[in-house]
Amino acid sequence: VRRGPLAVAIAIDIVMGLTSRGASASASPACVKKKEDKSDSTFYRRELPLTCVAFSSVKGRALFEKALEKHLAEPYFVLAEQFRTQDEPAYCGLATLVMVLNALAIDPGRVWKGVWRWFDEDMLSCCKSLDVVKEEGISLEEFARLARCNGASCSVTRGPSVTLEEFRATIQEHMSGKSRDDEGVVSSFLCLNYNRGALGQTGTGHFSPLCAYDDETDMCLILDVARFKYPPHWVQVAMLHKAIQERGYAVLTPGKRKDGGGPALGCDKCVIEGYDSQGRSICAGNCAHK
């Protein structure tokens, strides 16, 4: 099926128009807050460096149209439905994880608000206190553990262990949507933990998912969860490979229990232990799982 300019325009409108809460910056182990210049008390966005191409720009739209034509933007639409802005400056890892867990259609097993079970950043407190995450962010290993105890299978690859060619092949594989569920929906997502500085951006460590690849220019599209700072943008694969060297990437797929059921929710310290079968909190007082 041919996907033309109208499909591109609609796709971009979906991402640029979706509302989300929050704010963000970067971090040291993975996505840690980095203090901005205090000469100004507040900031409104940052300009993308010349190394990056804004998704909504003329060039960015053309890249996206080519990726669509070649079926190398398959994760885009599932992720776009869940695209969010991180709620705290150091929550890029949590925001990325929430996007993907909801894109994988995993039932969190506890209530978000009202009667609705849905993943939110404030629910991902089972492995590390949110007060600490607000100051430190999370590492790639902590990201993987949170993913696993919230129903996903997560494999981690450290930057130094993968060559540029292997990294490019991994991107192509996941952007082509080869892994799908029984209904044909993409069920494998590539999440990067990278150094913003290597891309010419301000900040240090950051998390965000990839959603498209253009093989002619060798550029991939990052759905940056710090949308108050940078919009979604295209970047060269070679440059991104350098950016993950001190960190790496994670691949998330639906998790399954050993008995064949799923998803595999819970770990020995997981927040799931503090909720009943309907996702209602059963903790009293100052329960650690509340």
The pair phi, psi for residue 129, each rounded to 5°, is -60, 135
**How far apart (Å, rounded) are the C-alpha atoms in residues 179 and 188?**
6
- DSSP-assigned states of every residue in 66-118: HHHHTT--TTHHHHHTT----SSTT-HHHHHHHHHHHHTT---SS-SBTTB--
Query: Using CA of residue 200, residue 140, residue 290, residue 255, what is the dihedral sign?
Result: positive
Residue carrying structure tokens 């594989």: 173
Give the residue numbers annotated as catalytic, written as ranges: 92, 206, 224
**Positive or negative torsion for Cα 52, 55, 57, 62:** positive
Q: Provide the H-helix boundaries in 190-264.
A: 237-243
Beta-strand relationship, 152-158 and 52-54: unpaired
DSSP at 194:
E
Calpha distance 161→275 (Å, rounded): 39
